[in-house]
Structure 1
C-alpha cells in the first residue's frame, strides 16, 4: 500500500477544516491560571494630617484623676533646710484667662523649716500648716506630649488660719504669714508644675488611639477585603491655647495595606513609633483604597457586552456566547466561547488599564493565545485579522464606578464622628478618587485609587 504524500495530507486537512458550508471546531489549549500571587497587594507610604484639640475640661479631668490625696512629699530637710507635703483637698478647676491657664486648687500644705546656725547647735525647726485655695496663673505648653506649665501664685484664700507649731500647740500666724507668703509662693508653684507635668502626659493616649486605628478592619465582607494601617512616624507642632482648648497639628506618616483573604494580624508596636516636633504640617490627607472586581463578576458584565453582536468578515461570522477571565503571568486571559462559522473557545491575552473618563477597566495589547502546534492559526486564520480583534477588544471592558462608590462609602463611617476609643473622636472629609494602578490577583482585578481629604481629632471625655 502506497503512503499518502505529506502535502496531500495537509491539503485534505485544510479542506476538511475550512469547508464553506459547515462550522469548524476549535481545539485550542487552555492557559492555566497563575497560582503564585502574594496576599499583600498594596503597600504605600501616606501622610495623614490630623489637627488635634484637647479641651481644658479634659485636662482638668485627667489632672483630677491623677492628682489625689498627697500630691507632693519632700522629707529631706538637709538639702534646703525644709520639708514639705502638699495634699489636694478638693476638685481642681481650670479656666482660660487672657491666653493663659488659671488653676484653682484646694490644697493643704504642711512644711517644716530649719533656722538658726549650726554653731554650737544653735538652731531650731518649726512646722507650718496652711489650708485653703490657691489660684495659679500659668503659661502652658505641650512639649513631647506632656503639658508643661510655668506657674505663679495669684492668690491665697484661707479656709483655716495658717498655724505654726509652738511647744506642741498650733498658734495662728495669719498676720505673720500673709506678708511673708512670697517665701512659699515660688516653691509651691514649682511643686504644682511638677505634679501637672507628671500627670498630663498624653503620649500614652496618642499611642492607644494609634493602636486602635491600626487594627485591620473589613472593607468588603463579600470579597474578604481588609484595610490595615501601620504608623511609622508621628509629627506634632507647638500647642496653642485658644477658646478653652489646646490646639496642635498632628501628622502621621504611615503605610497602608489592602489585603484579600483572612483577617490580617495587628502588627502595631508602640515601641518603634517615632515622635518628632515640627514647625509646620501639610494640610491634607492622602489615602489609598482598592476597588475590587472578582473575575466572576467581570466576566458576567463583559458577556453582556457581547449579547446580540456578530463579528466576522465576508461570509464568516461568529457570535460570542460567554466570556471567562483569569490571570496568568501578570496578564489577563479572556476566554471567548463562540458559535457560528467557528465553534469552541479562543483565548486572548491583554494588559488591564483604566479609563479615568469612563471609569472603565479595559484591556490593551490584546492578542490571541495560540497553542504550540499552531492549530488555531490553521483552523481560523481570518480570526487573526486586526479588524476582528479590534472589534472584540472594544467590547472587553467594564465599569468600576460602582466599586469606586462602594470604596468611598466604606471609608465614610471612619470620618463621621468615629470613636476608636472612649473620649476620642475622628471627623473628616474625602474628595473624589483618582486612579493609580491595576493589579491582578488569582481571583480578582484590583484597581488602586487614591483620595485626598482632611481629618481632625478631638480628645474630650476619656476614661
Structure 2
C-alpha cells in the first residue's frame, strides 16, 4: 500500500513539474486580409531603333509602283506634238555623294506635226517617231510625316538617237519641237518619281507593325504568372542620312517597360496616338520598372530553415521554432512561429518588410508581437517578450532574395539578347545593376518594385 502511494506521489510530482516547466499557450490567430492592388510609379524608358533601308529595296518597291505608261500628251494642236512615255527597263536608284540618284530608261512615242501656213495654205505634215532615252534625276532624302521624300529634279535626258524626221531624203532635227514638250514631261516625271519613292518609303505601317509585335506581353515566369510588356508612348526620329546606298535614321521610342503579375492587356498601337517628332539628339539609356515576386510560402520555407537548431530563451527556459508561416494583415506581414520547449504553441509577430541593399536581404522592421499574443505571453511566459530574444528572432526572420533578383535580371537579359518577336525585328541590349525601390504586399506574396537602367537597340531589317 505504501509502495502504491509512493508511485502515485512520484507520478503526480512529475506531472506537476512538467506542467510548471512547459506551458501550452493559446493565442488568437490574426486572420489574413485582402491587400490593396499594387500601384507603383512608372518611369519613361527610351529605346533606340536604328532603321536602315537599302536603296536596292527602294528601287524594288519603286519599280513595283511605277510601271507601264507614265506620261501622255494627247493634244497635237497646242504645241505640234503628241507624246506617250513608258518605263522601258527597271529603274536604278543609287547613292551619289549623299543624294538619291534615279536612272529611268524610257520608251517614247511621239507624233510630230511640222511645216506651216504658206500663202494661206496649210502645208503641214505629221510623222510618228519611236525614241529611246534615259532620264537621270537627283534628290535629297528628307524625312517628313512618316515619309522619306527625294525632292527629285531631272538632271539630264539622253537620247540614244537625236530626235529628227526625214524630209526629201534629208534628216531634219526636230529637237526644237521635242525640247519644249520636255519641260512638261520633266515636271511630270519628277512628281511621279517622288510620289513612287515616297510611297516606297512610307514606313509608318512598317514601323508600327513592328512596334505592335514588340509591345505584345511576354511571359517571363510561368510559375509566378509574371509578364513583361512595353507600352509605346511617343516616337522621335532624327533626320534621314544617305550613305553607301543605304538610307538610315534613328528612331527613339518613349515607352513604359513594366512587369505584371497576371497577363496584361494586349493593346494594339493606335496610329493616331503615336506621333512622330523630329529631334536632333537621342537619349542613349532606358529605365525600366520591374517587379520581383517573393511568395509567402517560399519565404516561410526559407525562414523555417533559418530557425533550425536555434534556441531562444532565458536561463533554463528555452524554445525552438519548428515551423514558420507568413501572411498579409493590415499592411504588415504576420509571422507565425510554432514553438516547442518551455512554451508550446503558436505565437504571432508582425512587421514591415524592408530591403537591405548591401546584403540583398528582406528583413522586417518594427518587428513585435501581435497585441493579443503579447498580452498572453505577459501572463504565461513573459520571459519571451524580452527585447534580446525578439532581436535575435528578427535576425532569423530575414532572408535573401538574391536568387529572385538574379532571375529578374536573367529574364530581362534574355529579352535583350537577340530576341526576335517577328521576322525582321531583332532586340539587343544590356542592363545595369538592379535597385530595389519599394516593397508592397499582396495576398500571396511580397512584391519588390525594382528599377534598372541599360541600353537597348531594336533593329528593323529590310523593306517588305
Shorter-chain TM range is 0.7 to 0.9
2:223 aligned residue: 222
* CA drift at 1:113: 10
**How far does the alpha carbon of each residue in 1:62-105 deviate from its partner, in whole angstroms, 9 at most, with x for none?**
6247514248567898xx99998765454433322212222333
Distance 2:333 2:42 in 1: 24
Relative distance call for 1:154 and 1:25 in structure 2 (3 A) is same
Q: Secondary structure at the match of 2:189?
A: helix
User: Structure 2 matches for 1:223-242, cutoff 5 A?
Assistant: 223-242=224-243
CA contact (8 A) 1:235 1:278 kept: yes
**How far does the alpha carbon of each residue in 1:302-326 deviate from its partner, in whole angstroms, 9 at most, with x for none?**
1111111111222221111111111
Relative distance call for 1:100 and 1:292 in structure 2 (3 A) is same
* CA drift at 1:50: 0.7
1:249 aligned residue: 250
Gaps of 5+ in 1: 1-15, 116-121
Distance 1:462 1:293 in 2: 45
Relative distance call for 1:409 and 1:124 in structure 2 (3 A) is farther
1:96 aligned residue: 95
Paired residue for 2:47, among 46, 49, 56? 49
Q: Secondary structure at the match of 1:52?
A: strand
* CA drift at 1:36: 4.5
Relative distance call for 1:104 and 1:399 in structure 2 (3 A) is farther
Distance 2:22 2:82 in 1: 107
1:361 aligned residue: 362
* CA drift at 1:369: 0.9
Distance 1:124 1:364 in 2: 105
Q: Secondary structure at the match of 1:420?
A: coil
Relative distance call for 1:256 and 1:458 in structure 2 (3 A) is closer
User: Structure 2 matches for 1:376-415, cutoff 5 A?
Assistant: 376-415=377-416
User: Structure 2 matches for 1:16-415, cutoff 5 A?
Assistant: 21-38=20-37, 42=40, 44-57=42-55, 59-60=57-58, 63-64=61-62, 66-70=64-68, 72=70, 87-108=86-107, 131-156=132-157, 183=183, 184-262=185-263, 264-266=265-267, 268-371=269-372, 374-415=375-416
Distance 2:52 2:58 in 1: 10
* CA drift at 1:207: 1.2
Distance 1:383 1:375 in 2: 11
Gaps of 5+ in 2: 1-14, 115-121
Q: Secondary structure at the match of 2:271?
A: coil
Q: TM-score, normalised by structure 2?
A: 0.81
* CA drift at 1:449: 1.5
Q: Secondary structure at the match of 1:279?
A: coil
CA contact (8 A) 1:321 1:338 kept: yes
Q: Secondary structure at the match of 1:222?
A: coil
Distance 2:50 2:250 in 1: 6
1:448 aligned residue: 449
Relative distance call for 1:329 and 1:260 in structure 2 (3 A) is same
CA contact (8 A) 2:424 2:461 kept: yes
Q: Which moved more, 1:67-76 or 1:217-226?
A: 67-76
Distance 1:411 1:99 in 2: 39
Q: Secondary structure at the match of 1:137?
A: strand
Distance 1:43 1:337 in 2: 38
Distance 2:367 2:135 in 1: 81
Q: Secondary structure at the match of 2:443?
A: coil
Superposition CA RMSD, Å: 3.9
